[in-house]
Amino acid sequence: MSGLLERLRGRGWRMTSQRRVVAEVLDGDHVHLTADEVHARAAERLPEISRATVYNALGELVALGEVVEVATDGRAKRYDPNAHRPHQHLVCSNCGIIRDVHPTGDPLSVLPAEERFGFSVSKAEVTYRGICPSCT
């Protein structure tokens, strides 16, 4: 339980029943749901909730920095509520399961200045790929 609801309320996020349900679905670590999965889970508690509302709420949570968008394949984006602790993702090439992982060191530090081409580089997203134990 990470107190997402409390944080959002504290930041003045207007609370509606729809937004509350979306935030509750996402609350907790190690969750990587697609927008449609969030919508399905939200609809279990609030059957009339619309897809557009879920997309709106997710977009705002991302803008607030409370949730991170993860695009590990060319398909649907996934939403990761573990935004407070920096981490990367390990994805099974077979079944698609995602684990949060913590590499040592800062991935930004291995990109030399002459390889930055004048960009002001602010972050590095790493996706590790392999086969998970269940798929071996």
Partner DNA sequence: TCCTACGATGGACAGAGTCCAAGTCAAGAA
Partner DNA sequence: TTCTTGACTTGGACTCTGTCCATCGTAGGA
Tell me the binding residues for Zn(2+). 92, 95, 132, 135
Sequence-distant (6+) residues with CB within 8 A of 68 are 62, 79, 80, 81, 82, 83
Q: Which SS3 state, helix, strand or coil, does residue 4 take? A: helix
Q: What is the distance between the terminal CA atoms of the chain, rounded to a whole angstrom?
A: 32
The H or E element that residue 1 is part of is none
Position 23 contacts DNA (CB under 7 A)? no
Exactly one of 30, 45, 51, 129 binds DNA (CB under 7 A); which one?
51
CA angle 57, 124, 75 (to 5 degrees): 50
Amino acid found at 17? S
C-alpha closest to that of 46 among 61, 25, 77: 25
- Judged by beta carbon, residue 51 or residue 84, the one nearer DNA is 51
- Closer residue to a second copy, CB minimum distance, 47 or 117: 117
Instruction: Report what 64 binds from a second copy, DNA, none; CB cut-off 5-8 Å by kind.
Output: none
Please give the residues from 85 up to 124 whose contact with a second copy meets the rule CB under 8 A: 90, 92-93, 99, 101-105, 107-108, 110-112, 115-124
The CB-of-91 to DNA minimum distance in angstroms stands at 15
Binding site residues, a second copy, CB under 8 A:
69, 71, 73-74, 77, 90, 92-93, 99, 101-105, 107-108, 110-112, 115-133, 136
